[in-house]
């Protein structure tokens, strides 16, 4: 089986990037304008919470601009470039589609969540990844919104790749 690459959606990647930058600018303006301690703390907490998503959208935009694929499927790994996550097919228990507030994600359950957590070096991202995993009961999720193609077709490609690769490695 040859390597498969899934690209970024040009419109969605650029749109998400512009929204992220706009939100970041808005928060910075609020931070400059607010002269109370409580207001400053509120904006900093909002920035920390939203920062993870903004960072992912900015990184996706940079990778899109550099013409790098969003996802790479190899004989041995699933690679999510925007999150910097690389998962061995043999470490996966399940792949599914996960819906959260109208957003659709490609979700993975792995044999040991530390396989994913140790790859995320940013401490804030790591904390949010752990919280996400605990709440959703999914080890890791890739956002379909920045991927080129229909969610169902991308899921089928990844799922078929997983099933065919897992069978070959048993």
How far CA 47 is from CA of 20, 54, 96, 121, in Å, comes to: 11, 9, 30, 19
Q: How confident is the model at residue 168 (pLDDT cuts 50, 70, 90)?
A: low
pLDDT computed for residue 40 by the predictor = 84
Please give the pLDDT value at position 166. Answer: 63
pLDDT at 50: 76
Percent helix, strand, coil in the chain (nearest 5)?
Answer: 55, 20, 20
- CA nearest to 148, candidates 43, 3, 7: 7
Segment 151-155 shows an average pLDDT of: 93
pLDDT band at 1 (very low <50, low <70, confident <90, very high): low
Indicate if the pLDDT at residue 116 is higher than 60. Answer: yes
Averaged pLDDT for residues 79-84: 92
Residues 6+ apart with CB under 8 A from 27: 43, 46, 47, 50
Decide if pLDDT at 90 tops 60.
yes
Q: How confident is the model at residue 79 (pLDDT cuts 50, 70, 90)?
A: very high
Tell me: pLDDT of 167 over 60: no
Of these ranges, 1-5, 28-32, 68-72, 79-83, the one predicted with the greatest mean pLDDT is: 68-72
Which residue has 């790098």 as its token pair? 68
pLDDT confidence of residue 169: 63
Minimal CA–CA distance to 112: which of 139, 81, 79, 94?
A: 139
Tokens of residue 12, six digits: 């969605």
Burial per residue of 37-69, b for 16 or more beta-carbon CB atoms within 10 angstroms, e otherwise: eeeeeebeeebeeebbbbbbbbbbbebbeeeeb
Read off the pTM.
Answer: 0.85
The answer on pLDDT for 123 being more than 90 is no
Supply the mean pLDDT for the chain.
89
């Amino acid at each position: 089986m040859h390597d498969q690459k899934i690209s970024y959606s040009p419109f969605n990647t650029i749109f998400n990037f512009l929204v992220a930058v706009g939100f970041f600018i808005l928060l910075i303006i609020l931070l400059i304008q607010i002269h109370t301690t409580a207001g400053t703390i509120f904006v900093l907490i909002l920035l920390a919470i939203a920062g993870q998503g903004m960072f992912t959208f900015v990184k996706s935009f940079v990778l899109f601009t550099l013409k790098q694929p969003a996802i790479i499927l190899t004989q041995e790994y699933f690679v999510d470039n925007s999150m910097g996550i690389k998962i061995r097919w043999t470490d996966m228990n399940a792949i599914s589609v996960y819906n959260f507030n109208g957003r659709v994600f490609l979700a993975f359950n792995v044999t040991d969540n530390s396989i994913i957590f140790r790859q995320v070096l940013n401490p804030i991202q790591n904390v949010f990844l752990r919280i996400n995993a605990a709440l959703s009961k999914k080890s890791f999720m890739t956002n379909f919104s920045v991927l080129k193609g229909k969610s169902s077709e991308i899921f089928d490609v990844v799922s078929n790749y997983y099933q065919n690769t897992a069978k070959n490695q048993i």
